[in-house]
Amino acid sequence: MLRRRPDIRRAERQAAAATARIGVAQADLFPKVSLTGSIGLESLQLGSLPTGDARYWSIGPSIRWSIFSAGRIRNNIRVQEARQEQTLALYDRTVLGAFEETENALTGYGRELVRRQSLTEAVTSAGQAVSMSTELYRQGLTDFLSVIDAQRELYQNQDALALSEQSVAVDLVALYKALGGGWDESDGSPPPQESPSQKQ
């Protein structure tokens, strides 16, 4: 999936182009053979052009070999090899950076899912505490201050849960971005599924 990232695709294409340039530079060491030909009509008199005697053709090979510039060609090959090494190093750095970004996004997303689950349980427990303290107050077994404290704790946990929901969404977007844009159903890669314990 990381190969779909634009930065990795660009670095990969640059490395492939640098490798191809080495082959082009090495090809200059060998002679180039070509076969050329021509066909036409030629006559001193305009009336004899349609006849077969006016036709002519020629064909012949040509060879071109830069035998006296072999030093320059070899230097060019070395330059292209050095450029290829640079693009391969850039490709390695790009891939390692993508792995690091993806690992950070996965870690953040997973950590926030665990925190959201914990806050969901805390909200449930705080809601039960509010219900119990309210019932105890109605029966005259406690003062109203315990009801207020339970409600305050419930509201704080609800606020924290809302912020955690926002963080989960932001972390999921960061994960999609790190993976090159999410999942495409045509490639058979399923999106991440939350376990039932992670759902509210």
Residue 185 pLDDT more than 60? no
The residue ranges of every structural domain in the chain are: 2-29+69-198
| Domain with residues 2-29+69-198, CATH architecture | Up-down Bundle (1.20)
Contacts of 76 (CB under 8 A, 6+ apart): 25, 28
At residue 194, the pLDDT reads 47
Residue 181 pLDDT more than 80? no
* Angle between helical axes of 6-27 and 70-138 (0-180°, round to 10): 170
Residue 109 in contact with residue 176, Cβ under 8 Å? no
Helix (H) / strand (E) containing 8: helix 6-27
Alpha carbons 186 and 182: distance in angstroms, whole number = 12
Most confident of 26-30, 102-106, 180-184: 102-106
At residue 43, the pLDDT reads 57
- Taking only the tens place, the pLDDT of each residue in 20-73 is 998 888 888 777 777 777 766 565 555 555 665 656 667 777 777 676 777 888
Residue 138 in contact with residue 45, Cβ under 8 Å? no
At residue 44, the pLDDT reads 55
Q: Which amino acid is located at 173 in the chain? A: V
